[in-house]
Structure 1
Amino acid sequence: MKNFGKGLIVTALVLSLATVALAAGGPGSGMMRGQGMGPCGGNCCGGKGMMGQNQAAPENISLEQATTTLNEYVANNLKGYQVEKIEAIERPRATMYAATVTDAGGNTFSLHLNPWGMVRGPFLQNN
C-alpha cells in the first residue's frame, strides 16, 4: 500500500511538471516549430529574427525632407495642429528627427521620423 501511494505521488508530480513544461512553450514553440523563438518562428518583425535583420539600409533624410514629410503628415492627419520645432537625432547608421507638435489649446506631443521615412507617434512629452 505504501508503494502504491508513492507511485501515485510520483505520477502526479511528473504529470504536473509535464503540463507546466508544455504550457510554457519555449524555443520553436507555435505553428512553425523548430524555426526560432516564439509563435511565428522568429519571423515576426519583418525579417529573420526578432530584430528584422532583412530590413533595407536606412536612407539619409535631410532636414528639408523631414520638414516636408512631417508638415504633410500633420496637415493630412492632425487637423488643428502644427509643427513647432524639428530636432535631428544622430543615430549610428542614420539620422532621425523628432518634431514637437502643438495646437491652439497648448496641447503638445512629439512625432518621430525614422531613417526609413516613416512617421511614428504621437508620443506624450514629459514636462
Structure 2
Amino acid sequence: MTQWRRKGADEVYPADEVEARLKAELPQWYLEDGWIRRKYKTSGWKATLMVVNTVGHLAEAAWHHPDLSVSYAFVTVKLMNHAAKGITEKDFALARKIEEVLMWQPGKDEPAVLEGTPDDPRFKYLKYD
C-alpha cells in the first residue's frame, strides 16, 4: 500500500518518503547525507570494472549522473538529482534500472538457455543478494 504521492520528475521527496519508498521498492538501497546509496559487492577488480561500466552506460543513457566510489571488490552508487538538489523520481527510476540490470541472473526469471557463470571462484562476478 503506497503512502506517498508520486511527484513530478524534478520534485524533491522529503526524507521520510524517500526512506519509505526505498524500504518498499529498493530494500538494498538506503538514504544517507541526502543521497540514496547502494553498495554492490564484487569478486574482484574485473567484476568491479564491469559494474562501473554498466552503471555508467545506464546513467548516461538516462542523462542522470551518479557518484561512484570504486574499490577492489565493491562499488558504491550514490544518486541525487543535482539540479533539484534532492531525491526525485529520476533517482528512483535510475536506481530501479541499475538494480534490475546488475542483479539479473540467467535462469532465474526465464528458461535457462543462458546458463550463467560456473560455480567456480575463477569465474565469480557479483555477490548476489
Normalising by structure 1, report the TM-score: 0.28
Higher strand share: 1
Normalising by structure 2, report the TM-score: 0.28
Choose 1 or 2 for highest CA Rg: 1
